[in-house]
Amino acid sequence: MQRIAVLASGRGSNLQAIIDAISTGELPAEVVGVFSDKPSAAALQRVAPGLRWSADARAFPTRDAFDADLADAVAACQPDWVVCAGYMRILGDAFVSRFRGRLLNIHPSLLPSYPGLRTHARALADSKREHGASVHFVIPELDAGAVVAQAVVPVHADDNAEALAARVLAVEHPLLVAVLRLAAAGRLAEHGTTITLDGHPLFTALRLDSAGVLHVPDDPESVSV
C-alpha cells in the first residue's frame, strides 16, 4: 500500500478527493499525514488528529527553518509520495531535494501558462477561451516541474474568477486522483527533467477526458491509462 503525505494550507477539497478515492478502493493508498503551514487550515480537520501536523510558518525566523521542521515531520511518516494539494507556501530547495522524484503539486492553470497566484483572474484578463489545472513534479523553480497531466475547462463569456475557479476545481479532483493512481501503481517516475510512464518518456502531458480517464494526447489510438 502506497503511503501518501499531503501538504495543504486551506480548505482541503483536493485532500478530500484523495481520501474519498481511497475509501472507495479507487486509489490503493493510505494518507499517512496531513501537513500545514496554517494551524487553522480546514484541511487538517479532514483526517484523524494523529495524522495532523501543523506549525505557523510566520513564527519561524526563516523559510529554511520552517521547511526543515516540515521536512522532518513528513519524512517521519515515511511517505512514498508527497502531494501539495492547495499548499500555498513556496518550498525551499532543501525540502524539494529531500523529496524530489516523489513530490507532486496540483496547480490551477494549464502550465506553463500562469505559474504563481491569481491564475483564474489572469486567464480572464487575457481573454483565454480555455483554462484548467495541471499536476506536475515539483522542482526548485516555482510551478516549473515536468507536467504529468492536465484537465481543460472552457472559459465562459460571463465568467468571473470565482465561477472559473469552481469549474477548474471540479476537474482538479479527478485529475489528482487519476495521477495518484498511476503513481501508486509504480507507473510514473521523474528522471531529471523527464517523466516516464511505464518506463517510456512522456513528452506530452496526459489529458483528462470528461469521463475522468487520462489519455495520451495526439496518440492515434488515444491510449487510456
- Cα–Cα distance, 93 to 55 (Å, whole number): 19
Task: Tell me the one-letter amino acid at 58.
Answer: R
Kindly state the cell numbers that stand for 220: 492515434
In angstroms, give the least distance from the CB of 75 to ligand GAR: 22
- DSSP β-ladder status, 200-201 and 194-197: antiparallel
Give the CB-nearest residue to ligand GAR: 86
- Cα–Cα distance, 140 to 94 (Å, whole number): 9
Q: Which is nearer to ligand GAR, 92 or 216 (CB)?
A: 92
The answer to whether 44 contacts ligand GAR (rule: CB under 6 A) is: no
Q: Which is nearer to ligand GAR, 2 or 36 (CB)?
A: 36
Question: What residues are annotated to the active site?
Answer: 107
Q: Which is nearer to ligand GAR, 139 or 169 (CB)?
A: 169
Residue 169's closest CA among 107, 115, 116? 107
Which residues from 53-112 bind ligand GAR, rule CB under 6 A?
85-86, 88, 106-108
Binding mask 156-195 for ligand GAR (x = CB under 6 A): -------------x--x-----------------------
Number of residues this chain uses to bind ligand GAR (CB under 6 A)? 16
Secondary structure letter of residue 158 according to DSSP: T
Considering only residues 5, 12, 70, 111, which one is a binding residue for ligand GAR as defined by CB under 6 A? 12
- Cα–Cα distance, 159 to 9 (Å, whole number): 26
- Cα–Cα distance, 43 to 48 (Å, whole number): 11
Helix (H, G, I), strand (E, B) or coil at 46: helix
Task: List residues near ligand GAR by CB under 6 A.
Answer: 8, 10-14, 43, 85-86, 88, 106-108, 133, 169, 172
